[in-house]
Structure 1
Amino acid sequence: MTHFCKFALAALVSLSLGLLARADEPNLKKYSPPADNAKDEPMAKQFSLDKAVGFLDNAALQWTDKRGCFACHTNYAYLYVRPMVGAKVQAHAEVRQSLENMVTDSWVLGKPRWDAEVIATAAALAYNDSLTTKKLHPLTRLALNRMWTVQRKDGGISWLLCKWPPMENDDHYGVTLAALAVGVAPDGYAKTKQAAKGLAGLRGWLAKNPPQNLHHKAMILWVSTSLDGFMTADEQKAVKKELLAQQLPDGGWSASGIYPWPRADRKEQEPDVSDGYGTGFTIFVLRRAGVAADDPALVKGIAWLKGNQRESGRWFARSLYRDNKHYLSHAGSAFAVMAIQACQ
């Protein structure tokens, strides 16, 4: 066989394998819907990043396909985490495209469903841009600019008040998410006149509406890692200390420990039970805030995550609202992977 034939054959085999691998990837037309989130799902025998990513892919695809909308806990969160483990897959491309389509189609043909949709969309696109192209996509800029059209005169944001903490429960989350969107946006967006004016309003609102719980403080801490004027160095140090003090003996954190909330089903919260959201979110924010990956508390926390993954690849997080779908597990699984990757 000539060198040319050998080269051609190798190229053909490589191309065929590439096409086969791509054909086998989950996408909006072909995915495996995850089973319901369940507290009694067995633990995995050993940690698997691949299984975690597979769960995140399929959960985001299912939500995007069946719901036709975006939710903070599932497909919005997916656009934060997926680039940290590889963005060049069909699932990521299609979920991202679906969000872009919402900006170009739904928003043009009619108004966004809520002001919160504008903020959450701008934040997800900006965060995704910062981890992929590192350039501000025109549609991301459009979404960011639209944020300021829904900002109130007092500097705040009218958020979803569904009593579904920590993401759909108070205006505080919307304000910090808007700030985060600006802070991570590439190409110096934070220095534009629109952004500077909007940020001044957000800072003013936060000054008049101080954080009510540790999750609020952690969100501001996260924002302060990319924007000045949201926390002083002493305030950052104090919040980091407070977060570390909430670590449970087994190494994890509890979502209800950092965001206490009276349940709608009148059952007791479990601030002494570690979960995927409390642990993943806290470790990720601490890493963003400069706590070293080899800090004993974070090492213990990562060990908890790797030892408490479920067979499906997810991490369970009990809903802070009521015992039903436990979609906080989706966000918790995203933050768990973000935390693990941030500590590599």
Structure 2
Amino acid sequence: MKSALFILLAASLVSAAETPKPKPKPEFQYKSAGIEVSIPTADEPRVAAFNAATVKAAAKYLDDGAVSWVREKSCINCHTTGPYLTERPALIPLLGQANEEIVADFIDFVPKEVKEVKETATKSGHKHYPAAFTSVWRSLGLAEWDKHVTGKTSEHTEKSLRDMFERQSAAGAFVSHGEVEIPHITTDFELSLQAARAITAAPGWLSGLKDEKLAAKIAKLKAWLRQPVLKNDFDRVLRLQLAHYMPDLVPPAERDAALTLLSSKQHADGGWSTRDFSALNDWHFEISDYVRDLITNLPDAAKPESDAYMTALAIVLMRQSDIPATDKRIQRGIAWLKQEQRVSGRWWMQSLYRGNYHYITYIATCEALKALALCGEIK
């Protein structure tokens, strides 16, 4: 009897040891020497008024977050350094010089030699090419830097774009894999759209391309983008952004339908909600139980409230579609954004991925500044 009890006790101890313990809540969103950025929270006070000082605070938040990530981490990501280098260079005339540590870090991640990349698969059998996310973000960030800072496509940007196309699927798309912040690069269309943006941003690169093999890959990407498999309404309204970068790929009737869809989802308070644009299971080819529980247990799960990312993106999409900034829909969205900025300079948003660091707040802040700049609201 004693030996049986001992075996049962030992087994229970092993089981307990194998059960993962909940991770402690982080103290800082970003932390490095001289930089401490607190975790974003919903109860952070809002600004008394949106003005030059609050814009400066937002710019500092973006700079601090990106610099901290570069100094403390070893990756290019879609939630901090990726958004920083894709959006911050265009804002240099309004916010001042972007931090060059970020572009130097991106350059360090460009492979010394472009090699063939073989397709792989997840445990569930989902086929994709390794580092597709990283190659797209790296290429887009470097291309935007060249566009707004150097004025010409650099050798490292050229090499990065070539490496990116080594990770293109046979169908022509760039395939999403692994869970990331909803809605940032969760579908194949969104990731492929960012790749398309990269090749159009690189100054003179596309028009001067003479490599027939690479040109064929670009033609394949365009063919896929003309008639992609759209996962949700988020993909459908993103067709407006594709029309901005590659107008010939989106018929006028489709643009009009996308604008109608986007307008129909504006809330009474003037904002938009990311979660209105997709059923939970349609964000990604695979949704973990953790993410599903996180989203379905949010206080506003039944009727999602407006959020900063989707409100800003809706404004960006309309401005890129030549809707004037004076349009009532845009003006209501601007008013919502201005009143929702927090005293740290950030625009708070609940993470729909892990619910701890709330990196979507960083993404939302990038997008909010872009939206306000496109409307002439940043002086």
Residue 25 of structure 1 aligns with which residue? Answer: none
Give the stretch that moved more between structures: 64-73 or 212-221. Answer: 212-221
Q: Provide the C-alpha distance between the structure 2 equivalents of 1:30 and 1:90, rounded to a whole number of angstroms.
A: 21
Alignment pair present for 1:250 and 2:250: no
Equivalent of 1:232, from 234, 251, 257? 251
In structure 2, the residue corresponding to 1:34 is in which secondary structure? strand
Alignment pair present for 1:100 and 2:107: yes
1:207-257 alpha-carbon deviations (Å, 9 max, x no partner): 554212222123332122121432111111211121122111111111112
Equivalent of 1:155, from 163, 168, 172? 172
**Cα gap change, 1:198 to 1:224, in 2 (>3 Å):** farther
Q: Provide the C-alpha distance between the structure 1 equivalents of 2:151 and 2:320, rounded to a whole number of angstroms.
A: 18
1:169-214 alpha-carbon deviations (Å, 9 max, x no partner): 3322221111111122211425624554223222333455421222
TM-score, scaled to structure 1: 0.83
Residue 49 of structure 2 aligns with which residue? Answer: 46
Give the stretch that moved more between structures: 161-170 or 71-80. Answer: 161-170
In structure 2, the residue corresponding to 1:329 is in which secondary structure? helix
The alpha-carbon deviation at position 36 of structure 1 amounts to 0.8
Contact 1:189 1:195 in 2 (8 A): no
Identity over aligned pairs, percent: 27
Q: Provide the C-alpha distance between the structure 1 equivalents of 2:257 and 2:110, rounded to a whole number of angstroms.
A: 39
Count of equivalent residues = 316
Residue 297 of structure 2 aligns with which residue? Answer: 267
Instruction: Please list every run of 5 or more consecutive structure 1 residues that lacks an aligned counterpart in the other structure.
Output: 1-27
Residue 12 of structure 2 aligns with which residue? Answer: none
Equivalent of 1:134, from 151, 154, 170? 151
Equivalent of 1:77, from 80, 83, 86? 83
Matched AA of 1:53: A
1:116-137 alpha-carbon deviations (Å, 9 max, x no partner): 2111211121123222233212
Instruction: Please list every run of 5 or more consecutive structure 2 residues that lacks an aligned counterpart in the other structure.
Output: 1-30, 119-128, 282-290
RMSD: 2.7
In structure 1, the residue corresponding to 2:166 is in which secondary structure? helix
The structure richer in helix per residue is 1
In structure 2, the residue corresponding to 1:77 is in which secondary structure? helix
1:271-320 alpha-carbon deviations (Å, 9 max, x no partner): 54111111111211221121111111111111111111011100011122
The alpha-carbon deviation at position 90 of structure 1 amounts to 7.0
Higher-Rg structure is 2
Give the stretch that moved more between structures: 263-272 or 281-290. Answer: 263-272
Moved over 4 A (4+): 28-31, 87-91, 104-108, 110-113
Contact 1:240 1:286 in 2 (8 A): yes
The alpha-carbon deviation at position 63 of structure 1 amounts to 1.5
Residue 15 of structure 1 aligns with which residue? Answer: none
In structure 2, the residue corresponding to 1:86 is in which secondary structure? helix
Contact 1:156 1:171 in 2 (8 A): yes
Contact 1:31 1:61 in 2 (8 A): no
The alpha-carbon deviation at position 65 of structure 1 amounts to 1.5
Contact 1:255 1:271 in 2 (8 A): no
1:42-80 alpha-carbon deviations (Å, 9 max, x no partner): 112222111111111111111222122121121110112
Matched AA of 2:367: F
Q: Provide the C-alpha distance between the structure 1 equivalents of 2:240 and 2:186, rounded to a whole number of angstroms.
A: 19
Residue 200 of structure 2 aligns with which residue? Answer: 183
